[in-house]
Amino acid sequence: MADHDSNTPYVPDIDEVLTDAELLVLQRQYEREHPNVRVQTRFNYAWGLTKGNKKQQQQLGIQMMHDIYDEVPERRRECMYYLALGYFRTGEYSNARVHIERLLALEPNNSQARDMRKRIEDKVTRDGIIGLALAGGAVAVVGVVAAAIFGKKSSK
C-alpha cells in the first residue's frame, strides 16, 4: 500500500497484487475452455492480469478488458472500472481518468469509482509536484554550473 495515506481513499484493487500461483489458476481455467472461453472466464483472467505484478501482464489484461467491453455490452460498467484500474497500475493516468469518468457519467454516486477518481487525481498531482521539484532542481544545478563557468571566465 505504498501510495495510500490517511487523506487518500483506500481502493484495495489498486494495491492488491495477485501472486503468480493465483494468476495461474485463472490462466488454466481460460486455457481449459479455449477456444470457446466463457465471458466470465475471460473477464476473470483479464481482471487477474490487471492485478499482476508485471507490466506486460497488466497490458494484456487491459487489452482483454477492451475486447470484453466492445463485445459484451452488459459487462461495460465493470470493464470501465477495471480498465481504469489497469491503466492506473501501468502509470497511464490519463487513460485511467477517461475510463473512470465514463463510469461516473453513468453512475455519479458510485463511491468505488469516486474513490478511484480521487486516487488517480492524487497520483497525478503528486507526480506533477515531484516532476516540478526535479525540474526546479535541474534548473538550479544548471544555474550554479553556469555561474561557475562564467565566474571563471570573467576573472581571467
- The DSSP letter of residue 2 is T
Encode the chain (156 residues) as per-residue pLDDT tens digits: 344 454 555 677 788 999 999 999 999 999 999 999 999 999 999 999 999 999 999 999 999 999 999 999 999 999 999 999 999 999 999 999 999 999 999 999 999 999 999 999 999 898 776 554 555 555 555 555 556 676 665 555
**pTM (2 decimals)?**
0.77
17: left (phi over 0), alpha (psi -120 to 50) or beta: beta
Residue-level pLDDT at 10:
65
